[in-house]
Every structure is written in structure tokens, then in C-alpha cells.
Amino acid sequence: MVKNSLIFISQENKKQNPGSVEFQIVSFTNKIRRLTSHFELHRKDYLSQRGLRKILEKRKRLLSYLAKKSILRYKKLISQLDIRESKTR
């Protein structure tokens, strides 16, 4: 249910600016959610787990950057994506 809304947000931002920080964070979030559902079936897929950790770090860095640049855009994005706010900004 949340996955469909994320794809909708992704397509909306793609028309505006596909290189924007918000679009990149949304696309990384979509990948993360897809991979977590993949791990329910394939628990020992260690190469994909490594890829997931890389994507998580990239998203973390982008969220940190966005929080430094514009706290309002950051708050709006994390509420849309329903993700937790980072402790260190």
C-alpha cells in the first residue's frame, strides 16, 4: 500500500527534476523497501545485503545534506516517506 504511493511520488518528482535530492531519496527508499521484501524469502543473500547497506548509507548522506540545506523540505520528505528522523544531522 505504501509502496504504490511511493511510486506515485517518484513519478511526480521525476517530471520536475530527476536529479533533485528529494527524487534520489525517494528512489533509494523504493529500492530499500523492495530489497527488504526480497530478504523475507532469501535470508542468506549476502551480496544483496551488502548492496542494501550501500544504499542505506547513500540515503543517509543525502538526508543529512537536505537537513543542512533546508529543514522544511527535509521534514516534509520524511513525513511523506514515513521514515524515522536521523539522530545526527
Extents of the domains making up the chain: 21-78
Residue 7, pLDDT score: 52
The CATH number of domain 21-78 is 3.30.360.10: no
Average confidence score pLDDT of the chain: 85
For Cα atoms 16, 20, 25, give the angle at the middle one, nearest 5 degrees. Answer: 115
pLDDT at 78 over 60: yes
pLDDT surpasses 50 at 1 = no
Q: What is the pLDDT of residues 14-54, one digit of tens each?
A: 667 778 999 999 999 999 999 999 999 999 999 999 999 99
Quick check: 89 pLDDT over 80?
no
User: Residue 46: CA atoms inside 13 Å, Cβ hemisphere, count?
Assistant: 0
